[in-house]
Each structure stands twice: as structure tokens, then as C-alpha cells.
Amino acid sequence: MSHAHPELSVVIPVYNEEAGLQSLYDRLYPALDQLGTVYEVIFVNDGSRDRSAALLREQFQRRPDVTRVVLLAANAGQHMAIMAGFEQCRGDVVVTLDADLQNPPEEIGKLLDAVRAGHDYVGSIRRQREDALWRSVASKSMNRLRERITRIKMTDQGCMLRAYRREIVEAMLDCKEVNTFIPALAYTFAHQPTEVVVEHEARSAGESKYSLYSLIRLNFDLMTGFSVAPLQFFSLLGILVSMLSVVTYVGVIIHRLFNHEVTGLIDVIWDRDILAFFLIGLVLFGQGILGEYVGRIHMQVRYRPRYRIGTILESPAVSTSSEDASTLPASRPTLQP
């Protein structure tokens, strides 16, 4: 009964959301039916400790035609849970949504329209955030800092209501890195990204799963995962400090020679403060060089694909790959000794 190729997959991570799941179903399914397209909903239970998993099983029994449920064995984090959903989804367009109704499901149509208009990545901007004030302020300033460091343009990084074309999702699945930030990762693969303004609501039930600590961790994932600029900052600083110390040192020696402040050679070249300054510069510089190497290791171990080919234009006669070379028809000219 279920369609192998829905147009739309909605991926929803669920972590301890028992109090809000029913109201989510009540709004989500009618909103999706309204779209008049073939869809599937993929719930990923991220190792909830409450009754969420049982509720999701029930929902699966109620709507098996359009519902799929992935139960993770343990809590893996929101972004990893979404990845698990990506692995299972079959739609041409994949939308991510939070389970707490902060992102109104009625907005999915807007995102879908933007994808249909040709965009492969549709981000969203919350018109009016309904979160604690400290969250809004902190996230605005982190957003700005992050944009400068990573050069990823997202007006509102925290909003997870986003749509991706299937190719983008597949590109993300090719990335084997463990810690990641999905909207940013998707952005690195997007050709035609755009953003739409969406509504935002207060949590329907329960409370935020993010403490200040986990938010800070998440921002580190974002910054270190998409840039080595923080490492490079220190090597540049080190170079600057050590250069400055040499210049000052030379300046001081000249000054002393001309002012006859000193008697012996040792007095001319010995200056503890400047020496310390120089050594600090040297240490920073060394640390910076180390950072450069660490940065390269860091990039390498993420095993992101080097590139992704969109299309290759070539005539069929020359198109062959090494595996099927053995199955070529005999008439085809081959290079044989």
C-alpha cells in the first residue's frame, strides 16, 4: 500500500516527547494531506526514556501507509537521529521538522514550493522566535560569529525546519563524520540555496532538550566541523607576535647604542622582557604550525567526499568504467597487446 517513491519525506527526531506527540499527529497529518502529494513521515526515536517509542509504534499501526518509524537503540543526538532518518527516507524532497511543534507543519508547503521552483536547499527564518530570551540573544550572536568563521550563509542556524532535494541528502549520507550539523553540511553541497520565512511557536509540551552546555557543544561541532579558521587564528597571531618582538628588539638595541646607556656588549643585547616576548611569540608560532597539521588531520579524518559529480557529458562510445570493462561486447575495439 505504501508508495516506494513518495515525493516528500518528512523526517522527525523524537527524544522524550510523549507529552506532545499526539498534538503533533493531529496537526501534521492533515497538513500533509492538504499538500495533495504522496508523502511519508519518518519518526526517529532517539533513545527516549519515556513512552515515546510506544506511542510511535501505535501511530505506525494507525497510519502504516504513510508512517515509518526508526527506533534507535540509544540516544545519539538530534542530528545523528536525523541522519538515521535520511538513510531510510525515499522521497525526492526531504523535510526535517522538530517533534515539539515549534516548527508549524503547515509551513511545509512553503518549503515544498521553493524546492519545486528549483532550489535544492531551502532554509527557514523564524519570523518571531518563541524561545527564552537568553536563547534568542545567544543564538543571534553565535550565528553572526559562525557565519564569519565558516562562511556558511544561514540567517537562522537554529531553525531545523528545512527542505533538501534528494541529491543533497545523499551527499550528506556520503559523509562519514560523526559529529556534524546538518543544515551546514547540506549548505556545502547546495547549488541553489534559498530561505523562506516561517512562523515559530512555543513548545507544545515538555521542555527543551538542550541545556546551555549542549548548545555550546553543538556550536563547537558547527565551528570546528566547517572551518579551521580558529586554529589558523593562533598561528597568525604567533607569527605577528614573534615578528613584533624582533622589531622591538632591534629598536631597543639601536636606542641603547645611541644613548650610551650601557657599558658592555651583554648589556646591549640582553633584555629579559623582550626575550620573553620573543619566546612567547615563538611558542605561539609553533603551536600555530602544529594547529595547521592538526587541522589537516581533522579535515582528512572526516572522510567527506572530495567532490560530487552532477553530470558527465560524453558520447556513449567512450563512457566506460573499470568494472564493466570485462563485460564489453566483443565487437568493441579494445586495447590488447
Closest distance of CB 198 from ligand UDP, Å: 14
Helix (H) or strand (E) holding 10: strand 8-14
Q: Which does 195 bind (CB under 5 to 8 A by kind): ligand UDP, Mg ion, none?
A: none
User: Which of residues 15 and 278 has its CB atom nearest to ligand UDP in the complex?
Assistant: 15
DSSP 115-131: HHTT-SEEEEEESS--S
The answer to whether residues 137 and 62 touch, using CB atoms and an 8 Å cutoff, is no
User: Which of residues 102 and 227 has its CB atom nearest to Mg ion in the complex?
Assistant: 102
Provide the β-strand partners of residue 123.
Answer: 195
Q: Which does 77 bind (CB under 5 to 8 A by kind): ligand UDP, Mg ion, none?
A: ligand UDP
Closest distance of CB 131 from Mg ion, Å: 8
Q: Is 42 helix (H, G, I), strand (E, B) or coil?
A: strand
Rounded to an integer, what distance in angstroms lies between the CA atom of residue 85 and that of residue 43? 7
Rounded to an integer, what distance in angstroms lies between the CA atom of residue 231 and that of residue 248? 26
The answer to whether residues 122 and 194 touch, using CB atoms and an 8 Å cutoff, is yes
The greatest distance separating any two alpha carbons of the chain, rounded to the nearest whole angstrom, comes to 98
10 near ligand UDP, rule: CB under 6 A: no
DSSP letter at 296 equals H
Rounded to an integer, what distance in angstroms lies between the CA atom of residue 38 and that of residue 6? 5
Interface map 57-96 toward ligand UDP (x if CB under 6 A): ------------------x-xx--x---------------
Residue span binding Mg ion (CB under 5 A) among the ranges 9-17, 52-60, 73-81, 98-106? 98-106
Closest distance of CB 46 from ligand UDP, Å: 4
The answer to whether residues 99 and 53 touch, using CB atoms and an 8 Å cutoff, is no
Q: Which does 11 bind (CB under 5 to 8 A by kind): Mg ion, ligand UDP, none?
A: none
What is the edge-to-edge ordering of all strands in the sheet holding 193-198? 67-71, 39-45, 8-14, 93-96, 162-165, 121-126, 193-198
The answer to whether residues 103 and 163 touch, using CB atoms and an 8 Å cutoff, is no
User: Which of residues 100 and 156 has its CB atom nearest to ligand UDP in the complex?
Assistant: 100
46 near Mg ion, rule: CB under 5 A: no
User: Which of residues 51 and 209 has its CB atom nearest to ligand UDP in the complex?
Assistant: 209
16 near Mg ion, rule: CB under 5 A: no
Provide the β-strand partners of residue 13.
Answer: 44
Show the cell assigned to 7.
515525493
23 near ligand UDP, rule: CB under 6 A: no
208 near ligand UDP, rule: CB under 6 A: yes
Q: Is 161 helix (H, G, I), strand (E, B) or coil?
A: coil
**Chosen residue from 6, 8, 13, 21 binding ligand UDP by CB under 6 A:** 13
32 near ligand UDP, rule: CB under 6 A: no
102 near Mg ion, rule: CB under 5 A: yes
The answer to whether residues 125 and 153 touch, using CB atoms and an 8 Å cutoff, is no
Using alpha carbons only, give the angle 122, 158, 93 rounded to the nearest 5 degrees.
25
Closest distance of CB 288 from ligand UDP, Å: 35
Closest distance of CB 145 from ligand UDP, Å: 18
100 near Mg ion, rule: CB under 5 A: yes
User: Which of residues 14 and 152 has its CB atom nearest to ligand UDP in the complex?
Assistant: 14
18 near ligand UDP, rule: CB under 6 A: no
Closest distance of CB 160 from Mg ion, Å: 8
Residues lying near Mg ion in the complex (CB under 5 A) are found at 98, 100, 102
Residues lying near ligand UDP in the complex (CB under 6 A) are found at 13-15, 17, 46, 75, 77-78, 81, 98-100, 102, 208-210
